[in-house]
Amino acid sequence: MSRPVYIPEGYKSALSLRETQHAIKFIKDTFQQALSFALTLDRVTAPLIVRSGSGINDDLNGVERKVGFDLLEDTANVEVVQSLAKWKRMALYRYGYNVGEGIFTDMNAIRRDDSMDNVHSIYVDQWDWEKVISREQRNVEFLKETVRAIVKAVVYTKRQVTLRYPMLDAKICEEPYFITAQELLDKYPDKTAKERERLITQEKKTVFLMQIGKMLKNGERHDGRAPDYDDWELNGDILVWDEVLQDSLEISSMGIRVDKTSLASQLKEAGAEERMQYDYHKMISEETLPLTIGGGIGQSRLCMLLLEKAHIGEVQVSVWPEDMLATCREKGVKML
């Protein structure tokens, strides 16, 4: 089900369709080089499909339906990935990566149950990255240090975009403001989670909202997170103020991953202890898999932000509801 599309009054893209396609490539080339340098990451190849029942696919909030199908020459069923959170950690182990080293990849996914609007699509494209860390680095300060490095890569890319396309001159705050979901609730107790995000990002411009997934004092969670990849005490979302939409835009979800203790605790809290049957979960419990930090950075979201677009369909080729397409045509928004 789609949500109402919002096109600002008088909005017009600064770039033509052809210029937009050139700019998308420029952003992707520039940012992934900056990210690789900032976090010491190798680019690797990643799967689009995995076997059903393997425990490798991301369960997101645990309710989203996966896109699956059978194979002509195999009895197994397979499913399109929803993210690569678990696969990346397994890959670091299999490929022999050491502390301080990591990987990134293009992740393409289908999330059939996502609502579609200005910033949401059923087609997900992001840079998924993962890095081996030491036990001593499993702390908030190292998490913040990593967030700052990612934001610097975003700001650097924006500067390069503005040099090439001077008409795109919106600024991005380079210093993120750090706040936990509970602190944000305490600050705006009468607002919804999304309203709280909008208010704090409007004020601070670049925000890292921490501890997503854990239960808050009001008996609710700020947002859902699967219990078996992020440590809910050591994760968060990077939010940036979008000048075009005048709203908060999440460009990354990331965190230090669960160890054996936090995995057991979070599976119990989520009522998902049956997942311990999978190899991935057993390897964490047995401390076979390395300790890691990782996340995803939305490619189309970043392009939308840096190219000052009003709809994600202006930087991504996907399928949209007919009423949404009609609204965009009426408002002069040219979808790819």
HSE-up of 266 (CA within 13 Å, CB side)?
Answer: 26
CA distance 49 to 108: 10
Whether residue 253 lies in the annotated active site: yes
Catalytic, out of 111, 138, 196, 225: 111
What's the gap between Cα 281 and its chain centre? Answer: 22
Whether residue 126 lies in the annotated active site: yes
Residue found under tokens 């996502």 = 114
Whether residue 74 lies in the annotated active site: no
Catalytic, out of 58, 59, 228, 231: 58
Catalytic, out of 79, 237, 242, 314: 237
List C-alpha distances in Å: 336 to 46, 115, 246, 317.
25, 19, 23, 5
Burial 301-311 (b: 16+ CB within 10 A, else e): bbbbbbbbbbb
CA distance 331 to 329: 5
Whether residue 58 lies in the annotated active site: yes
CA distance 100 to 291: 11
E-strand ranges in the chain read 41-43, 49-51, 68-71, 74-80, 102-110, 123-132, 177-180, 206-210, 230-242, 247-257, 292-298
Whether residue 82 lies in the annotated active site: no
CA distance 68 to 323: 28
With residue 183 as reference, give the H or E element that holds it.
helix 181-187
Catalytic, out of 126, 137, 248, 299: 126
Catalytic, out of 117, 250, 269, 275: 250
CA distance 329 to 326: 5
Catalytic, out of 82, 83, 137, 253: 253
Closest CA to 110 of 122, 119, 99: 122
Q: Which residues are catalytic?
A: 58, 111, 126, 237, 250, 253
